[in-house]
Structure 1
Amino acid sequence: MTPVDMLLSIAIALVSGIFIGCIGIGGVLIVPALIYLTHIGIYTAIAAAICGYIFTGLVGTLMFMRNGTLDWARARVLCAGAMPAAIIGSLTVKATSPIILQGAIAILTVSSGVQALIGRPAHVGEPTRFDMSNRKGVLIGVFTGFLSALTGTGGPVVLIPILLALRAPVLTSIGLAQAIQLPIALPATVANAAAGTLDPLLGGVLGLGLAAGTWCGAWLAHKLNQAVLRRLVALVLLGTGGLMLFKLVLAASQISL
């Protein structure tokens, strides 16, 4: 990794962390940004991003624990499904075509952009009926853990839309999404290290940048207009995902010629 790649990686992590702190969306940007702005390969980018989520998961979980707003009962159920699935997902990465991985990441990025652009921000105090059985929780955890480890996008971008669709309170959803990062990131990082795809230096740099950016983003969230921030992040996500899809379609058309 060149010094320029290192500086760009720090900048990418900081920006992603700020977005995460402001509106809860941002981790999905890391892998595509690393792929297109640096000389880092997709397998290394995914492994390093997953490693970086250890830092954000730890910080986020501790914050919700300190505030007493973490639903431990549901967190344990989700984590029970996520942990083994994350190991399988990380081991599947090397056996998956880079084209398929980039396509999955692009679709997730665009979906996150659409959600940020047109999704109705729910209120923290909004009354909801949230009913998630243990069986459903384990299945959701399995899906979240596998897809997150496979694409390097992190647990929140997969889990939060599912929980909100089940009418979970926003604060509960965010807290559970923070808690699920650790059981996904820790075993997946061990598996990636064993597979030889993890760059510990890059993972550490991303983790520190994400943690610092998330802290700054949380501060900015209380100073800036949330509607403007959501639209800005939505445009960035849509542009990034759209560019990835365009390049994939272009590459596929050239191969078929």
Structure 2
Amino acid sequence: MTLSFVVSGFAVGLLVGMTGVGGGSLMTPLLTLMFGVSPSIAVGTDLAFASLTKGVGTFTHRMRGTVRWPIVRRLCIGALPAAVLASLALKKFGVLDKEIGQLIRYVIAVSVMLTVVALLFKRKMLAWINAHPQYQLQGGALTAATIASGALLGTLVTISSIGAGAIGATLLVMLYPRLTAAEVAGTDIAYAVPLTAIAAVGHWWLGSINWELLLTLLVGSVPGITLGAYAARAVPERVLRGLLAFTLVSVAAKLIS
């Protein structure tokens, strides 16, 4: 079983490196469906996994100057309290309870489908926003919308471990269409570090992190992400994202069946 987890970590890391999509939308459903890991343990372990891997990514983007820290702060104002409240709610209602586990499966399925929408329609949404500048938020309205987006992402990420990647990046593109692709990626990763760390601490408090599983996933994922980043240059992005979207739709259907 340990080897299987290492291979799975490598496969997910490879896809993440090739597509740029967060591992949560792939790793959590994989652990739940293929290996029968309980939804709460899968979410908690993946959050700990994400906090470590995204920390490395943030360091790289900071060195390159592609993190917009004012936006990171606004997102965190909404996301971090939401993560704490979501953890308290899971504690109150019993994260390891069977019915709560089923609810988490449904939340994961919804989050996966939101990721699919983000993958397939991000460019069209951006084109529409650029074509209608009168609808772009400014000033206080933009700040409030950013904080609200952070709160939504904080809740989704804590309950399902999904949302900080493709969904977060899509919201950033819609709210801040003038950001470069590198700035979107760097800002998205930077705010996700404290968010996933706090959510992971919450799940540690709840007893829903499997540390041995976490270690084996890291062993496989680190070389997978590295190799995937190089392989991405050889495979058309449209092909990769189309394949990933199809996979995620199948995963979501299986989760709710």
Relative to the length of structure 2, the TM-score reads 0.82
Q: Secondary structure of 2:165's partner?
A: helix
Query: What is residue 216 of structure 1 aligned with on the other side?
Result: 227
Deviation at 1:52, TM superposition (A): 0.3
Check 1:194–1:115 CA distance in 2 against 1; reply closer, same or farther (3 A cut): closer
Query: What is residue 21 of structure 1 aligned with on the other side?
Result: 17
Residues 192-225 of structure 1 deviation map (CA, whole Å, 9 limit, x = unaligned)? 1122111122223334444433222221112221
Query: What is residue 11 of structure 1 aligned with on the other side?
Result: 7
Is contact 2:107–2:159 with CA below 8 Å preserved after alignment? no
Q: Distance in 2 between matches of 1:209 and 1:185?
A: 20
Query: What is residue 80 of structure 1 aligned with on the other side?
Result: 77
Unaligned runs of 5+ in 1: 248-257
Number of matched pairs:
240
Query: What is residue 113 of structure 1 aligned with on the other side?
Result: 116
Q: Secondary structure of 2:159's partner?
A: helix
Alignment of 1:47-196 (within 5 A): 47-94=44-91, 95=93, 97-120=100-123, 131=138, 133-168=142-177, 169=179, 170-196=181-207
Deviation at 1:99, TM superposition (A): 2.1
Check 1:140–1:116 CA distance in 2 against 1; reply closer, same or farther (3 A cut): closer
Q: Give % identity.
A: 24
Residues 39-61 of structure 1 deviation map (CA, whole Å, 9 limit, x = unaligned)? 32111111000000012211211
Are residues 1:44 and 2:35 paired?
A: no
Query: What is residue 201 of structure 1 aligned with on the other side?
Result: 212
Check 1:134–1:212 CA distance in 2 against 1; reply closer, same or farther (3 A cut): farther
Unaligned runs of 5+ in 2: none
Relative to the length of structure 1, the TM-score reads 0.82
Check 1:226–1:242 CA distance in 2 against 1; reply closer, same or farther (3 A cut): same
Is contact 1:52–1:210 with CA below 8 Å preserved after alignment? no
Q: Distance in 1 between matches of 2:70 and 2:121?
A: 31
Q: Distance in 2 between matches of 1:174 and 1:235?
A: 23
**RMSD of equivalent CA atoms:** 2.6
Query: What is residue 238 of structure 1 aligned with on the other side?
Result: 249
Q: Distance in 1 between matches of 2:121 and 2:149?
A: 24
Letter in 1 for 2:5: S
Deviation at 1:118, TM superposition (A): 4.8
Of 181-190 and 134-143, more deviation after overlay is shown by 134-143
Is contact 2:38–2:101 with CA below 8 Å preserved after alignment? no
Letter in 1 for 2:182: L
Residues 8-34 of structure 1 deviation map (CA, whole Å, 9 limit, x = unaligned)? 332332222222222222421111110
Q: Distance in 1 between matches of 2:113 and 2:29?
A: 12
Structure number with the bigger relative contact order (C-alpha 8 A, sep ≥ 6) is: 2
